[in-house]
């Protein structure tokens, strides 16, 4: 039964995508609730659940709201209509909010106070601290804030989504009575966490609490009856109409404006808000009661990620793991010489991202570089990759950068980078019409004595050196001729009018990955029917594609042993008798975000291993440009195999998916010893780096015999 009481008998094969995502967020929340972790690490996970929820409401709930408004009630593969999904989502998300704030109040903040970090309410301040807070208001806050009167008969003032504001209820005119209404937007340019002097540790108050305390000064002579913090979430499920003529760059700028004015899909407000305040905001923003979240604590928990990341307080954080140098890529050697010797596989963040950066940076400065071609989806704010591409273009190299302007929530940054690269002389492509380009690829074309050589990087993660320290990803670098030829053909299909052609090794969505996966899954099923050993192992972020799920069901029924490591959304029901009893699904939640996509087919004892930028979802396989790359070098393939097997064997940070869509924490037992996969990867990277360091020869000068004796 669903939360709305509807049976799922008409669609028993699939789990609902949105509810599966919420289950993932509950697994992240379990990390925040883990009392064995230090409090700032727990706070980080709580902040992640809040950030995830923000995007979920903006995009997924926003999309369902649009379908509902259009009267579209066609059920999803799990048999739920948009209205039914929204009802189920509301129930589960209210449960998640309750868990978030119970954890903050009962677990995290008491631990933080013991460690010297105190969030103080204004009534808890000493006289000296109150004077300090009042001075902050007078000197820094009062000159910035601007109250806005609200007339119920007129349009509600435009407020930015995900920003905190204060609703102020004021006494009416003495002659007429009644009440008046006003809003005070909490300034984005001011620090949220305001330090107040204390005898020891770090004491702070929240910016909105200070404004609330002195809000009467903004309404001189008018009694303030109530002041309540609230936060609205706007629908961000906006897209460009690429079928219409026009400038894509201009259309994307219009989308950014539309998001600021779109409808409200969630209203968060403080739990102590009066019925009058709640009713007024609900009516003004046209929010159903199911979309109102009364929060028993500070709004915008996602902002507390900054507090968790503050320098210092190391005793309240986990011990850091340091990315290790790559044994096969010494820093003193040219990356081109390294790749001439053979392929290179990197496991981030356990191993440095530096070799990937070096490929672009060396190419920019190398006089023998003829061209650099790269797809950029999400890059950092001060990206060394983009800086290198600009430098290469300015030095006369042919630089082609495909910058995906439709990378959600990174559109503004990507627009700025596109402008900068174009000014530097690079050829800039704004994605592919009708599709998002999500592939991770860079090719360097170099003139060498033997002819033109292409050096290629394929990845599962973005060209972002910051997230490369937070996300678990794979990089594959090669100078193999077939890979280079495929890379050139791939870019030609993106930048020209070519139709996708047959590649030598790789496959690309939207045309090639789905049929190739179906072929490989079907081949394993046929081997099993013939009595041969057959197996499929895969590591994905999401599994929601009905066609691939049905293919896996058929393979399971044929006897194929299938093990899946799916971090987030999984719409497949494992372990159902007669359907999927040969399928096992786990999900790992640990200090790093699991992000790599890896696939292994047993292939009759000659395993085939792939990395991919694509999850197994309709959007990735049908509406995005993605890559799936075979890794054939024996050493690199063995490492991928080891990474897959280690993740599947995790018994400390893994959760097992049950047929009903719930998850249970895996526990070590006599057959499955204790194993934390991310820790195992870190220790292996350290061991590999240490072993390589020991192998470095010590250069000792040869001295005459007499000189040796004297020494």
Catalytic residues, which ones? 438
Residue 198 CA to residue 26 CA, distance in Å, equals 36
Q: Locate all alpha helices (DSSP H) within 215-372, ordered by sequence.
A: 248-261, 275-285, 304-308, 335-341, 354-365
DSSP character at residue 323: P
Beta pairing class for 451-459 and 471-478: antiparallel
Helix (H, G, I), strand (E, B) or coil at 237: coil
Sign of CA dihedral 424, 425, 430, 436: negative
Report yes or no: 258 and 287 within 8 Å, Cβ to Cβ.
Answer: no
Cβ count within 10 A of residue 75:
15
Q: Please say whether the dihedral angle defined by the alpha carbons of residues 378, 380, 382 and 387, taken in this order, is positive or negative.
A: negative
| DSSP H helices in 286-410 | 304-308, 335-341, 354-365, 384-394
CA dihedral 134, 136, 142, 146 (to 10 degrees): -110
Specify the residue for token string 């106070």: 113
CB 398 within 8 A of CB 425: no
DSSP, res 427? E
Closest CA to 154 of 112, 115, 118, 183: 183
Pick from 502, 447, 710, 474: nearest CA to 613: 474
How far apart CA 116 and CA 54 sit, in angstroms, is 30
- Report the half-sphere exposure of 110 (CA within 13 A, side-chain side): 8
Which token pair is 396? 């006369």
Which tokens sit at 534? Answer: 């057959």
Residue 292 vs residues 56, 93, 96, 288, 604: alpha-carbon distances, Å: 15, 11, 14, 7, 55
**CA-wise closest residue to 443 among 403, 476, 404, 488:** 488
The string of DSSP letters for 178-227 reads SEEEEEEEPPTTS-SEEEE--SSSEEEEEHHHHHHHTGGGGSTTS-EEEE
Determine the Cα–Cα distance for residues 427 and 266; give it in Å rounded to an integer. Answer: 41
First to last CA, the chain: 86
């Amino acid at each position: 039964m669903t939360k709305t009481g509807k049976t799922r008998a008409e669609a028993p094969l699939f789990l609902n995508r949105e509810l599966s995502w919420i289950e993932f967020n509950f697994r992240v929340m379990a990390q925040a609730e883990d009392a064995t972790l230090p409090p700032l690490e727990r706070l980080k996970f709580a902040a992640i659940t809040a950030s995830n929820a923000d995007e979920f409401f903006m995009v997924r709930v926003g999309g369902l709201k649009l379908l509902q408004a259009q009267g579209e009630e066609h059920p999803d593969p799990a048999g739920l209509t948009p209205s039914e999904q929204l009802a189920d989502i509301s129930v589960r998300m209210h449960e998640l909010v309750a868990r978030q704030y119970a954890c903050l109040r009962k677990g995290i903040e008491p631990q933080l106070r013991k460690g010297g970090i105190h969030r103080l309410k204004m009534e808890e301040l000493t006289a000296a601290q109150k004077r300090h807070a009042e001075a902050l208001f007078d000197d820094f806050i009062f000159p910035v804030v601007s109250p806005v009167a609200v007339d119920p008969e007129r349009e509600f003032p435009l407020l930015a989504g995900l920003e905190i504001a204060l609703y102020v209820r004021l006494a009416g005119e003495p002659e007429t009575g009644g009440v008046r209404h006003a809003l005070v937007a909490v300034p984005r340019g001011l620090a949220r966490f305001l330090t107040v002097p204390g005898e020891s540790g770090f004491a702070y108050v929240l910016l909105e609490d200070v404004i609330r305390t002195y809000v009467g000064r903004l309404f001189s002579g008018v009694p303030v009856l109530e002041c309540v913090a609230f936060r609205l979430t706007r629908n961000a499920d906006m897209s460009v109409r690429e079928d219409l003529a026009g400038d894509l760059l201009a259309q994307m700028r219009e989308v950014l404006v539309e998001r600021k004015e779109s409808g409200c899909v969630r209203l968060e407000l403080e739990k102590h808000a009066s019925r009058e305040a709640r009713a007024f905001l609900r009516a003004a923003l046209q929010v159903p009661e199911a979309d109102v979240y009364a929060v028993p604590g500070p709004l915008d928990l996602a902002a507390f990620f900054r507090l968790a990341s503050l320098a210092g307080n190391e005793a309240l954080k986990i011990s850091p793991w340091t990315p290790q140098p790559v044994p096969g890529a010494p820093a003193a050697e040219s990356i081109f010489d390294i790749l001439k010797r053979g392929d290179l596989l990197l496991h981030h963040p356990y191993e440095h991202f530096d070799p990937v950066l070096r490929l672009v940076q060396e190419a920019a400065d190398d006089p023998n570089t003829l061209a650099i071609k790269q797809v950029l989806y999400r890059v950092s704010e001060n990206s060394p990759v983009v800086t290198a591409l600009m430098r290469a273009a300015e030095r006369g190299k042919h630089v082609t950068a495909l910058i995906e302007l439709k990378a959600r929530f990174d559109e503004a940054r990507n627009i700025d980078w596109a402008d900068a690269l174009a000014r530097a002389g690079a050829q800039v492509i704004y994605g592919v019409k009708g599709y998002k380009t999500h592939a991770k690829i860079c090719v360097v074309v170099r003139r060498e004595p033997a002819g033109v050589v292409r050096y290629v990087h394929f990845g599962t993660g973005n060209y972002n050196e910051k997230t490369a320290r937070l996300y678990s990803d794979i990089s594959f670098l090669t100078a193999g001729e077939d890979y280079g030829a495929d890379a050139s053909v791939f870019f030609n299909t993106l930048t020209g009018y070519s139709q996708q052609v047959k590649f030598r090794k790789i496959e690309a969505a939207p045309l090639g990955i789905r049929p190739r996966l179906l072929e490989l899954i079907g081949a394993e099923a046929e081997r099993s029917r013939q009595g041969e050993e057959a197996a499929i192992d895969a590591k994905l972020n999401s599994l929601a594609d009905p066609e691939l799920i049905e293919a896996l069901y058929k393979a399971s029924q044929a006897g194929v042993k299938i093990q899946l490591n799916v971090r987030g959304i999984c719409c497949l029901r494992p372990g159902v008798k007669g359907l999927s009893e040969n399928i096992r699904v786990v999900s790992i939640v640990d200090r790093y975000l699991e992000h790599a996509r890896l696939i292994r087919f047993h292939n009759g004892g000659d395993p085939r291993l792939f990395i991919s930028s694509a999850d197994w979802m309709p959007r990735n396989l049908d509406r995005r440009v993605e890559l799936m790359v075979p890794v054939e070098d024996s050493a690199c393939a063995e490492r991928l195999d080891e990474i897959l097997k280690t993740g599947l064997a995790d018994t400390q940070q893994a959760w097992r998916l049950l047929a009903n869509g719930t998850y249970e924490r895996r526990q070590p037992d006599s057959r499955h010893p204790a194993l934390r996969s991310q820790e195992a990867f870190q220790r292996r990277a350290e061991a590999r780096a240490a072993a390589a360091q020991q192998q470095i020869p010590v250069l000792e000068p040869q001295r005459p015999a007499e000189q040796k004796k004297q020494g």
